Amino acid sequence: LTALDWSAYRSEHAEICDFVKARGITGFTSVAGDRHAYFAGLLSSSLPPKGFDPIGLEFVGASISSPGTVEAWEYNFPKDHKLAKAYVPNINRTMLYGIQAGLGTGAPDRTFAPQLSFVDWGGHGYAVVRASSDALEAEFVCIPRPIEHAPGEDGGPLRYRVRHRAQLWQPGEAPKLEQSVVEGDPGLSI
């Protein structure tokens, strides 16, 4: 992943990030939806082994009901493939911490994907973004896989609610993203 959801626009992504940095713009945030997965993290014009210099925040919201990558892999990934364990049940951990952590054969490596702080390739639900003059907050509200209608009028049970928050940073400073689990269990997504 070049950033979180810019893989088809690498040049444009770098140009925007460089523009923001050169002008000392703070509070820059990219928000995208219906990616069929949740992502939260930091924006940088490049990633290791090139430089990693965060200039903003990025949030990608999942779909409410459309199937995503995890559902596709569950039905199509060969069960006897040597990487099946890393990709199907542990894809979130693999994306955050590397293949060895995903396989359970190595320690989590935070340098593997320093731009990512939250990944849920199998999540369904929505995101709520709140911005003020001094902070930004994005809350991911994840529901169980929507295979059946939820009972009752309250929308049904939740898997989790995770809040991502950042205070406005000063020019020359890197943004800092804090997370808190509000409800439920995001599992290997953090």
User: How do residues 59-79 score in pLDDT, each as one tens digit?
Assistant: 999 999 898 889 888 888 888
Reported as a pLDDT band with limits 50, 70 and 90, residue 9 is: confident
User: What's the whole-number mean pLDDT along residues 111-116?
Assistant: 90
Q: How confident is the model at residue 56 (pLDDT cuts 50, 70, 90)?
A: very high
What gap in Å lies between CA 60 and CA 41, rounded to an integer? 9
For residue 54, give the nearest of 130, 3, 123 by alpha carbon: 3
Among 32-36, 83-87, 180-184, name the most confident range: 180-184
Arithmetic mean of pLDDT, 41-52: 90
Q: From the CB of residue 69, how many other CB atoms can be counted at a distance below 10 Å?
A: 15
What percentage of the chain has pLDDT greater than the value 70? 97
Q: For residue 3, is pLDDT > 70?
A: no
13 SS3 class: helix
Model confidence at 84, in pLDDT bands (50, 70, 90)?
A: confident
Q: What's the rounded Cα separation, in Å, for the pair 68 and 60? A: 14
